[in-house]
Amino acid sequence: MPKNARGVMFYLASRQPKVADVEVTSSQDKRKLTLRINRISKDDAWVRLEPVQGFLPGARYRFRFVSKHAAWSNPDEISVTIDNEAVSTAGNYVVAPASRPAHKVIVVPTSSGSCVEPVTAVVQEFTYSIPASLQRYRDILTYDAQLLPLPGAPKATAHVLEWPLPVPVLYDNGNFSLGSGFSQRYDSRNNAIVAACGPKQGRVRLVGFVGFPEVDRPAHRTPVVDIDLNRNAEGRCDALDALDALVHSVNWRKPDASLRELCQGSLARSFRDVDGPLRAVESEAWEKELSFLYAMSPTCNLVALGHLWHTGQFDARPQTLHLLGTALETGMRRAKRAQHDAAVRALAYVIEQFPPPRRRTMAQQLLRPVQPVLVDALAEPSPLRPDELAHLIDLGGPLTPALRRKVGLIANGKTATQAQARRLLGIAD
């Protein structure tokens, strides 16, 4: 910290903190060190622990909470080194939105509030611009933001837990916030406004707050920025496109980490519960996940398997592909329409990830058990993705007599998929 820092910020769960609860020591500062506690806010457990004599440049100080207490999540100690130079917090502070919003996968709480799941959302990221003199301390400043109400817009409540949300909200790593003073969740690089896909969310107004409470108060307010979440949004509100883009562009060298962070509970349990590589997940775990499809699980698990096969990290023997295909057929038969469609979409993606020399063979081994459920989907009055369905059925290899009869009924009917069925049977239009 700079030499004009007044103290360190510390979270004390007790509403009546005492000087005797904390000690400060320094091997470089030989003075008799005494502390005072500065309550920044009456309603805030964050306090500033201030050495009465001030800091010495170049010295390192250790602050410790020494009183006995029940278990809590905040640290009991903090160490700081004091620089030789003082800083001024005066200058320009700006909240800077990314050039355009984008459709991305984010993690949100489920309706119970106890778990999280991935969803696709409209995401407007933003960062903070601060004075050059503070760049050295960028990561220890405090950051907060607020969305200002617009005339006629629906109001958010302070108890927003369930997705989809009725209004755009501030977001950070699975937490929703309406802005409430200094927030330890937000930092200089990890900030966003999110809105549910679908209904038009319109414009929002964003204001930021940047503080250096170890040096001075209050926080510096940024100018208000108007943002249109509907204008020129990048990508589509499609789970597969958004997840593939994040895995392969944001963290191309570490797709395991991206999938673990984004998909979390929708991935094979032996991967999400153990801090190991994706390639260590056994085929039985993938079978279990593919046999029961929910939320974004078909997209998450098939994208993960596609990555493993594309990079040669997973078993591609015929019996393994057949077992995974059999599990997926079971999952698709009992899945809701949205998950069934997502599985079809992700299957087409997985086939493209197979190594080109073996693509046709591996596709047939994986898709052969899935053919019956794909044919049933094609036979529906208004099937989703009929061309994709027909392509996957074809890749599954020659039809059994029973499936050929079903496809023949589609070809002789008057549904929108008649042409696809005729091509599968080799009948020219």
Six-digit token string for 223? 């100018």
With residue 384 as reference, give the H or E element that holds it.
none
Q: Classify residue 56 by its DSSP letter.
A: P
| Number of Cβ within a 10 Å radius of residue 423 | 17
Alpha helices in 175-317 (DSSP H): 239-245, 255-263, 269-272, 283-290, 297-310
- Per the structure block, which two tokens stand in for 138? 């960028």
Give the contacts of 361 (CB within 8 A, at least 6 positions apart): none
Sequence-distant (≥ 6) Cβ neighbours of residue 286 within 8 angstroms = 268, 301, 305, 324, 327
> What is the C-alpha to C-alpha distance for residues 410 and 420, in angstroms, rounded to an integer?
9
Task: Please report where in the chains the tokens 């250096």 appear, as a residue.
Answer: 212
The structure tokens listed for 312 are 């040669």
Position of tokens 């056994």? 282
Strands 175-177 and 102-109: unpaired
Task: Supply the pLDDT for residue 63.
Answer: 96
Predicted confidence pLDDT, tens digits, the chain (429 residues): 999 999 999 887 666 778 999 999 999 999 999 999 998 777 678 889 999 999 999 999 999 999 888 888 788 999 999 999 999 999 999 999 999 998 888 888 765 555 778 888 899 999 999 999 999 999 899 988 898 877 776 665 545 557 787 788 888 656 665 443 334 445 556 688 988 887 666 788 999 999 999 999 889 999 999 998 888 888 888 889 888 877 776 545 577 877 877 887 788 776 665 567 888 888 999 999 999 998 899 999 999 999 999 989 999 999 999 999 999 999 999 999 999 999 999 999 999 999 999 999 999 999 999 999 999 999 888 888 889 999 999 999 999 999 999 888 888 876 668 888 888 888 755
Pairing of strands 116-129, 192-196: antiparallel
pLDDT at 73: 79
- pLDDT reported for residue 198: 73
Report d(CA 196, CA 97) in Å as an integer: 18
For the chain, helix, strand, coil in percent to 5 are 35, 20, 45
d(CA 415, CA 404): 17
pTM: 0.79
Q: Give the whole-angstrom CA distance, residue 1 versus residue 202.
A: 42
172 in helix, strand or coil?
strand
CB 178 within 8 A of CB 158: yes
Helix (H) or strand (E) holding 395: helix 386-395
Going by C-alpha positions, the residue among 222, 238, 261 that lies closest to residue 97 is: 222
Nearest Cα to Cα of residue 95 among 212, 188, 208: 208
What is the Cα–Cα distance from 120 to 242, expressed in whole angstroms?
7
Sequence letter at residue 310: H
Separation between Cα atoms, residue 171 and residue 298, nearest integer Å: 25
Q: What is the pLDDT of residue 112?
A: 52
Give dist(CA 351, CA 245) in Å, integer. Answer: 17
Dig out the tokens for 282 from the structure.
Answer: 């056994």
Are 2 and 215 contacting, i.e. CB atoms less than 8 angstroms apart?
A: yes
Quick one: DSSP state of residue 91?
Answer: S
